[in-house]
């Protein structure tokens, strides 16, 4: 046996471990639920009756208690994608949107049934990530700040 062979094997093992470490992807996303709501969207807890703070593409949401952070969530942006629903093929695959928090869903006009969701998306945002075939108005989402 060649004396350099164990050194060479050790070197290959080190290179393999380093390349494995560099290719390892860490996800910083959270998983939650989202509902949808319709207009009127004003007034909001964050901006009152001022619609100028709404994003131009109408991708916005009301925050649930889990992300509200005593009002610090106002203006925060999240990448959101649909990951599942009770209806097969409910999600528009590979569709991620950027939403802005403009309201708190602990206040009217939100129905009591939406209080346990992570966020309530505008109709435009909800329909962009969920197929129209979705039977329920709730979806499971992955979101990241």
Separation between Cα atoms, residue 58 and residue 128, nearest integer Å: 11
pLDDT of residue 115: 66
Q: What angle is formed at CA 72 by the lines to CA 70 and CA 76, rounded to 5 degrees?
A: 135
pLDDT of residue 113: 62
Does the predicted TM-score (pTM) go above 0.85?
no
pLDDT averages per 10-residue partition of the chain, 145 residues: 67 68 65 90 92 92 94 97 87 94 82 78 94 81 95
Separation between Cα atoms, residue 78 and residue 46, nearest integer Å: 16
29: three-class secondary structure by DSSP: coil
pLDDT of residue 10: 74
| Residue 17, phi then psi, degrees to nearest 5 | -65, -40
pLDDT of residue 20: 55
pLDDT of residue 39: 85
């Amino acid at each position: 046996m060649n004396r350099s062979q164990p050194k060479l094997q050790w070197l290959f093992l080190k290179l393999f471990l380093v390349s494995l470490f560099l290719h390892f992807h860490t996800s910083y996303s959270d998983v939650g639920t989202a509902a949808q709501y319709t207009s009127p969207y004003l007034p909001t807890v964050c901006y009152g009756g001022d619609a100028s703070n709404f994003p131009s593409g109408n991708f916005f949401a009301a925050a649930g208690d889990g992300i509200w952070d005593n009002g610090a969530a106002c203006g925060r942006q999240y990448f959101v994608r649909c990951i599942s629903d009770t209806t097969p093929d409910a999600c528009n695959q590979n569709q991620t949107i950027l939403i802005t928090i403009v309201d708190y869903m602990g206040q009217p006009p939100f129905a009591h049934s939406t209080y346990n969701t992570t966020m309530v998306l505008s109709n435009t945002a909800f329909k962009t990530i969920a197929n129209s075939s979705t039977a329920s108005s709730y979806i499971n989402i992955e979101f990241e700040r």
